[in-house]
């Protein structure tokens, strides 16, 4: 995808631009992350405020 050797850490840290073929995957992962984070905060942050 990248046309060169790239370390996994560079990809995971966002040091390299994702290839166009991966944009759909990144969109899905971002949407899931936002939903999971919001759900977790609603469940655990509100419980600790009681």
pLDDT at 1 over 70: yes
CA distance 9 to 12: 5
Structural domain of 35? 8-48
Per the structure, how many domains does the chain have?
A: 1
Task: Provide the token pair at 13.
Answer: 């840290």
Does the residue 1 lie in any domain? no
Q: What is the pLDDT of residues 9-37, one digit of tens each?
A: 999 898 999 899 999 999 999 999 999 99
Does the residue 2 lie in any domain? no
Three-class DSSP labels, the chain: CCCCCCCHHHHHCCCCCCCHHHHHHHHHHHHHHHHHHHHHHHHHHHHHCC
Prediction pTM value = 0.56
Report whether 13 contacts 5 (CB < 8 A). Answer: no
Does the residue 3 lie in any domain? no
pLDDT at 45 over 70: yes
CA distance 23 to 15: 16
């Amino acid at each position: 995808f990248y046309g060169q050797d790239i370390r996994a850490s560079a990809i995971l840290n966002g040091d390299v631009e994702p290839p166009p073929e991966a944009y759909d995957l990144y969109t899905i992962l971002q949407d899931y992350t936002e939903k999971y984070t919001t759900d977790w905060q609603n469940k655990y942050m509100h419980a600790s405020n009681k």
